[in-house]
Structure 1
Amino acid sequence: MLLRNGRLAAWLAAGALCAATASAQSISKEYNSNAPDAPEWVENEAPAAPAFDMGRLVDVTVDAQGALRYGIDPATLQIGKDGVVRYVMVARSTSGAMTAMYEGIRCDTGEYKLYARYNVDKWTPVGKPEWKSLWESTRIKYPLAFARQGGCDGKARPTSVQDIVRQLKSPAQTVYPN
């Protein structure tokens, strides 16, 4: 009887291990785009660049020594079904010059994409927007700063636009006076 119970316990343990392994593989395929039989990620078509309001900008700290000040209008934030966080980032100089960029971030891959630029009161779409690493550019630092200050939740997209705004407005992240 004990031998039977021992075999039964071993059989049950082996079954539980198989079930746990299958479940882990399923989860891995869902979240890991590198899994061999995972469906290939497809980006949704980006909506047209949204209007933004300079009076609503929430600061994004990029470089305390820099000549530019960056901010995001919370009304432009979107979290797409494709997982892309889209936003309008505004760069302002101390002389009053301003430009804006309509972009997207993929938190899971650490990439950003520029869709359009705003200059002289109009949006100009980028010819062939491409995903670029947040970490490769030494010149363009604001997408990484935004991702770190609330645009991403680690390697995951944020759960809501409200979470992004709350993180951006947190006193620990805000350096510039209102």
Structure 2
Amino acid sequence: MIKLRTINIRISTLLLPLGLALVGCAGDPLESGVDPFAPMVFKEGATAMPLNPPNKASIQPFYVSQQTIFKFAVDTNSILIGNDGITRYIVILTSPNGNSQVQYEGIRCDSFQWRLYGTFEGSTWKENPLSSWRAIQDNTPNRYQAALAQGAFCNFTSQEKNIKNIIQSLNPNGFTGQIKPTNSYGVVN
């Protein structure tokens, strides 16, 4: 009888922690309101338009593709790494004749999408009332959103959270937008 009681006590002491662990894991997701298997729903945070035009001292040109005739630059002071997974920034697009367009945009790394929030016209920012998320085009000459996403703002499908890493990635001596520009001899231009 004593041996049987000792065995029961030993088994009870071994099974008690296991049982408590299972009870802790067995929470009802309907009661807690959190279902760990439910798909994540994207919720965009509030976006305020910039207050100032691009800062000429912090404009950083970046490489887009060999096929483009435009020049592209980003205002590094405007880069905002949002908690909602969106990296917002001011980009300057310059045509061959010297005309520039300044835009405030956002990039989502998780879905590889971009959004135009507004443009700088005259001396004020104008919101884009028809703004919506669009797929980033990776196979066009003016693929600047893809170059920013692949070369600086994203780590595959994750948002880069360190502003120093982003600014270092935008360095024109090393930035390629994930595509090395080479001539026919394999020399980087």
Fold shared per TM-score above 0.5: yes
| Consecutive unaligned residues in structure 1, runs of 5 or more | 1-14, 23-34
Once the 2 structures are TM-superposed, how far is the Cα of residue 137 of structure 1 from its aligned partner? Answer: 7.7
- In the alignment, the residues of structure 2 paired with residue 106 and residue 67 of structure 1 have an alpha-carbon distance, to the nearest angstrom, of 26
SS in 1 for 2:77: helix
Choose between structure 1 and 2: higher helix proportion. Answer: 1
Once the 2 structures are TM-superposed, how far is the Cα of residue 150 of structure 1 from its aligned partner? Answer: 0.4
- In the alignment, the residues of structure 2 paired with residue 62 and residue 77 of structure 1 have an alpha-carbon distance, to the nearest angstrom, of 18
How large is the Cα RMSD of the aligned pairs? 2.9
Q: Does 1:47 align with 2:45?
A: no
Q: Give the TM-score of the pair, scaled to structure 1.
A: 0.71
1:154 pairs, out of 156, 161, 183, with 156
Once the 2 structures are TM-superposed, how far is the Cα of residue 170 of structure 1 from its aligned partner? Answer: 5.5
Q: Which residue of 2 aligns with 1:143?
A: 145
Q: Give the TM-score of the pair, scaled to structure 2.
A: 0.67
| 1:50/1:76 contact within 8 Å kept | no
- In the alignment, the residues of structure 2 paired with residue 139 and residue 121 of structure 1 have an alpha-carbon distance, to the nearest angstrom, of 29
Q: Which residue of 1 aligns with 2:28?
A: none
Q: Which residue of 2 aligns with 1:163?
A: 165
- Taking the TM superposition and a 5 Å limit, the aligned residue runs for 1:18-167 are 37-51=38-52, 52-135=54-137, 138=140, 141-167=143-169
Output one character per residue of 1:5-61: Cα deviation in whole Å (capped at 9) or x when no partner.
xxxxxxxxxx8xxx9xx8xxxxxxxxxxxx852442210011222521233211221
- In the alignment, the residues of structure 2 paired with residue 47 and residue 38 of structure 1 have an alpha-carbon distance, to the nearest angstrom, of 28
- In the alignment, the residues of structure 1 paired with residue 51 and residue 89 of structure 2 have an alpha-carbon distance, to the nearest angstrom, of 8
Q: Which residue of 2 aligns with 1:29?
A: none
- In the alignment, the residues of structure 2 paired with residue 136 and residue 161 of structure 1 have an alpha-carbon distance, to the nearest angstrom, of 24
| 1:110/1:134 contact within 8 Å kept | yes
Once the two structures are overlaid, the 10-residue window that deviates more, 53-62 or 151-160, is 53-62
* Bigger radius of gyration among the two: 2
Runs of 4+ with deviation above 6 angstroms: none
